[in-house]
Amino acid sequence: MRVLVTGGSGRLGRSVVEVFARRGHEVTSVDAFPGPERPGVEFRKADLLDDEARAQVFADVRPEAVAHLAGIAVPHARPGAETVAVNARLAWGVLDDARAHGAHSVAAASSPTVFGYGSADWTPERLPLDEGHPVAPVHAYGLSKAVIEEAVRTLARTSDGGCVFTAVRPGYVIAPEEWEGAPTQQGHTVAERLARPELAAASLFNYIDAEDAAELFALIAEDRSGAAQGRVLHAIAEDPMAEGPLSDLLPRFHPGTAAAAASLAPGQAAFSSAQAQRLLGWAPRHTWRERLRS
C-alpha cells in the first residue's frame, strides 16, 4: 500500500520507513531534512507547517496510510508556546489532510510523558500504567501530545469510519545504531543509561527498540478491522531498562510511586502495552539484554 511517513528522517522515523519498506509497502518519507537514502523509498523535502506544501505532498502521494512522526520531539528543546503550537498544528494539518485525501489509516506519535511523571510529587493511581490511566501533563511537550491524542479522538469521532485514527505512545526510542554505542536522544549511550539509573528514571525506565515501535505503526496501517479507531496504544518494552526491580528503583527517584510500585513483579516494566497486543497482536521482539549482547 502507499504509505506516507512524516518525520521519516528522524530517530524513530528512519526505522518506521525501513520496516514499512521491508514489508513491501510503497513508502514516501516527508521531512524538512533528508535522511539516509534507501532504495525503493521516495523522499520529499517539505515544511509540513506550510499548508500549501503539505497539501501538495498529499495530492501527489495519495497515501492509503500515514504514520505521523514529525514534530518537536524532546521536552524543553524549544520554548513551550512554540512546542505546543508546532506539534498541535502539524498533527491537525497532517491528520486532516490525510482524511481529505482518502487515507484509510493514520497513526500519530504521542508520548508516555502525557502522564506527567516529571514532577517531584507524582503519584500514579496504579502501576503498570495502561492507556486507561488518567493523563496529567506537566510540561508543554506533554501537553502537545495530549492535544494530539485529543485530535485523534476528535477525527475518529467524525470520520464515519472511513479513516481509522490512532495515537501511539512509544517508550524511550533506541535506534539501531544506538544499540551499537551511538548517543541516544538525551546524549548518553544505552550502556550509560543502565549504569546510571538516574538517567532512565526520568522516563520511569521505559524504552522501546525503534524497529519494534515501527512494527506497531505497520500493524495499525495494515489492519482493516478498525480495532484501533480513536485509541491510544502504548509501544513500550515489557521489561524496564534497569538491572534491578522497579519496586526498589522507582521509589528512590519518584517517592510518590512507592505504594503502586510494590505491586510490580521483578522484571516488570512500569507501563503495559497489553492493549496493542490484544487489538493488533503486537508485542515487542527485542529487549536491551538481547540487543546489547548481539
Ligand X SMILES: NC(=O)c1ccc[n+]([C@@H]2O[C@H](COP(=O)([O-])OP(=O)(O)OC[C@H]3O[C@@H](n4cnc5c(N)ncnc54)[C@H](O)[C@@H]3O)[C@@H](O)[C@H]2O)c1
- Interface positions with ligand X (CB under 6 A): 7, 9-13, 31-33, 47-49, 69-71, 73, 90, 109, 111, 170, 172-173, 185
When the beta carbons of 159 and 185 are compared against ligand X, the nearer one is 185
Write down the least CB distance from residue 24 to ligand X, Å. Answer: 23
- Residue 13 and residue 6: Cα distance in Å, rounded? 7
When the beta carbons of 71 and 197 are compared against ligand X, the nearer one is 71
When the beta carbons of 122 and 248 are compared against ligand X, the nearer one is 122
Query: Which one, of 8, 151, 19, lies nearest residue 69 by Cα?
Result: 8
Write down the least CB distance from residue 169 to ligand X, Å. Answer: 7
- Residue 116 and residue 145: Cα distance in Å, rounded? 11
Q: How far is CA 173 from CA 229, 236, 278, in A?
A: 24, 9, 22
Burial of 281 (0-12, 13-18, 19+ CB in 10 A): exposed
Q: Coil, strand or helix: which one is 44?
A: strand
| Contacts of residue 23, Cβ cutoff 8 Å, sequence gap at least 6 | 218, 222
- Residue 225 and residue 221: Cα distance in Å, rounded? 11
Write down the least CB distance from residue 243 to ligand X, Å. Answer: 21
Cell numbers that stand for 234 in this block: 502504548
Write down the least CB distance from residue 7 to ligand X, Å. Answer: 3
- Residue 214 is inside which H or E element, if any? helix 210-222
Q: Coil, strand or helix: which one is 259?
A: helix
When the beta carbons of 69 and 84 are compared against ligand X, the nearer one is 69
Cell numbers that stand for 241 in this block: 531498562
When the beta carbons of 173 and 260 are compared against ligand X, the nearer one is 173
Write down the least CB distance from residue 113 to ligand X, Å. Answer: 7
When the beta carbons of 14 and 247 are compared against ligand X, the nearer one is 14
Write down the least CB distance from residue 149 to ligand X, Å. Answer: 12
Residue with smallest beta-carbon separation from ligand X: 10
Q: Output DSSP code: residue 128.
A: S
Write down the least CB distance from residue 31 to ligand X, Å. Answer: 4
When the beta carbons of 63 and 71 are compared against ligand X, the nearer one is 71
Q: Output DSSP code: residue 270.
A: S
Q: Which residue has the cell 500549501?
A: 52
Q: Which residue has the cell 491510544?
A: 232
